[in-house]
Amino acid sequence: MQLVHEQPDFEFFLRGADGRSALVSDRRLEASFIVAPDRLVEGWAVEDVTRLQVSDLEPVLALEPEVIVLGAGERQAFPPQEVIAACYSRGIGLETMTNPAAARTFNVLAGEGRRVVAAFILKTA
């Protein structure tokens, strides 16, 4: 059997993520961040998905996603209803899941050529 290491057609992809760190392409991140197939925004100032505000989504929305994958950390939790409503009112899907699931979902959607942006919340302390 021949094994071939296939590189994705996009610049940034997730090799893995948990509640404290993520491996984006070959770079380990230990603070919350935003990633699109062609952009990486480090230092997203969000530490708790349950306290997420609509204004926190500005850098995510600036990347013009059709769907947002929100990595809530190592445990499933959801943002306030105002945040969900802000996305839906703009016609943008919002899916919230654990960081490992969000990493897998981001890669699948990006591989399909979708305009996906993922935002990951990492616990720093």
Local mean pLDDT, 10-residue blocks, the chain (125 residues): 58 94 95 97 96 97 98 96 97 98 96 96 86
d(CA 8, CA 1): 21
Number of H helices, E strands in the chain: 3, 8
Q: How far is CA 29 from CA 17, 96, 100, in A?
A: 9, 20, 14
Predicted local distance difference test score (pLDDT) of residue 10: 77
Sequence-ordered strand ranges (E) for 39-109: 39-42, 67-71, 93-97
Q: Which fold has domain 14-120?
A: Hypothetical Protein Mth938; Chain: A, (3.40.1230)
Predicted local distance difference test score (pLDDT) of residue 124: 80
- Model's pTM, two decimal places? 0.91
